[in-house]
Amino acid sequence: KMAEKQEEPSNTQNGEPDNAEEGEEKKKKKLKREDLPPFEIVTGERLPAIFFKFQFRNVEYSSGRNKTFLCYVLETQGKESVTSRGYLEDEHAAAHAEMAFFNTILPKCESSLRYNITWYVSSSPCVTCADRITETLKKNKNLRLTIMVGRLFMWEEPEMQAALKKMKSAGCKLRIMKPQDFEYVWQNFVEQEEGEEAKSFVPWEDIQENFQYYEEKLAEIL
């Protein structure tokens, strides 16, 4: 099993089931995915259900879940309010989705506008991204950011705890996703297969316990 994992890192990362008898078409598609340049940021309307089910699971040990999926709702308040939504994922870990959001979705904040941003992220940011979030919020007082996370990333590390505290003091609201939040993401950001009635969200069995576990940890840190 290990050898198989090393050969096909992209498969295990994305939580796709390994299927030996892939059609030729699928093989071609897969090759294309792996040929992406390292700084490619994948953005899309809705993320595939298979990614959601794997990456967003609020498990305690997130083995193989080393990509970040970030779903965002961006509300810009000026003369008229405009709301946009979408998702980002980091490709080959070259640029994290959090950075990509500030570089591509919100490269400049107009000082005359107010921005209310909510992120639904598979796991909390790494230290570098947390620092970037803190700096951005300090620089742009017209920016409000709420981050809903499925899991806490490396929360035992003192450096990580310090970075999360700084985010909080810069005004970032950090919350652990409740079962209802996962359902919201499922309904609003996940592809529903064509021709089927929208499948309702099926919570995994330990979703509530895991939420409580992470919520306690976050309360201790902050």
Backbone angles phi, psi at 118, to 5 degrees: -120, 130
Whether 76 contacts 90, CB under 8 Å: no
Beta-bridged to residue 222, according to DSSP, are: none
Give CA–CA dist 120/102, Å, rounded: 15
Backbone angles phi, psi at 87, to 5 degrees: -140, 155
Please compute, for residue 73, the number of CA atoms within 13 A of its CA located in the half-sphere on the CB side. 11
Catalytic residue among 22, 45, 75, 98: 98
Beta-bridged to residue 147, according to DSSP, are: 119, 174
Active site residue 98: yes
Give CA–CA dist 81/194, Å, rounded: 31
The secondary structure of 129-186 as a DSSP string is: HHHHHHHHHHH-TTEEEEEEEEE-SSTTSHHHHHHHHHHHHTT-EEEEPPHHHHHHHH
Please compute, for residue 183, the number of CA atoms within 13 A of its CA located in the half-sphere on the CB side. 10
Catalytic residues: 98
